[in-house]
Structure formats: structure tokens, C-alpha cells
Amino acid sequence: MANVFRKLIRKELGDINYHRYSCYLRKNISNNTDNKVPDNQVIFNDMYEKLKNRDFKSIYKMHNRLNDTMLLAFRISKNFFFAFLFYLLATVYLLLRSMSPELTAISIILINICFVYKIYEFISNKFCYIDAQLILLYKAVLDRIILNEQKSMREK
């Protein structure tokens, strides 16, 4: 299961472009030993060239999907605390409740499986530096195209 940013970029720009961009960013980050900001202009220009000829309606939809994905990533991070709290309370409740040991063990195993999924989802979305860089570039490209389109509409 990939994080939500990776899923969006792959859907919008394709697997081949995603792998090309992520490899380029990884190479720049690994070659960058003096902690400077990596040069992302090449990726920005490539994304811009691929998207600039699309109609305004599709660009606007892409921008909305990007905003929805960013909200989803934020929601995953925000709701993890509540999932953790629910996990703890449910486990304590099951342990303190006088049920058969087999039923208690099965219930706790099922809760643990669900919580491991939530942990994986949280970690994969929290620590996705490369994908976050790509999302920022993608957002900048979409914003630039929308601003250019609005500017040209005003001039007409």
C-alpha cells in the first residue's frame, strides 16, 4: 500500500513519470552533502510541459484532487492519536471484561491487526519526503497554470 501522495502522482502523471521524478530527487538528495535545497527546477519544467496544454477544466479538477489528497494526508496524521487511544481503551476493556480466554485472545488479535494497519498507514504517510517534494512541485505547477490561465482570461 502506497501513501496517498504517491497514489495521486502515479494516477495523475503516470508510473513512468513518477519513477523518473522520484529517482531524480533521490539522486539529488544523496549527492547533496552540504544540506542545500535540492534543485527541483528540472522536474518543475517537465511537469509544466506535460500539463500546460490541458484544458482549464481538467487542470481545475486536478487541483481539487490534489487539495482533497492533502486533506486526507492531514486527516490520517490527525486521527492517528484517536485510533491509538481507541486501541488502548478497547484492549483494556477486553482484558478487564470477564469473557472466555479464547474469545478475549481472538478479539485482541483482531484489534491488533487493525491497529497495525493504522500504524502502517500513518508511517507511510508521515515519512514520505520524496513524495511530499513531488506534491509540492505538482502543486506549484498547477498553481502556475491556473494563474496564467486567469491572467490570460483577464486580458481578453
Question: What is the per-residue pLDDT across 19-33, written as a single tens digit (0 to 9) for each?
Answer: 999 999 888 877 765
Mean pLDDT computed over every residue of the chain = 89
| Spatial contact of 60 and 75, defined as CB atoms under 8 Å apart | no
139, amino acid identity: K
Query: Domain residue spans in the chain?
Result: 4-153
- Supply the pLDDT for residue 6: 92
When pLDDT is averaged across residues 43-69 and rounded to a whole number, the result is: 92
Q: What is the pTM of this model?
A: 0.80
Sign of CA dihedral 146, 148, 149, 151: positive
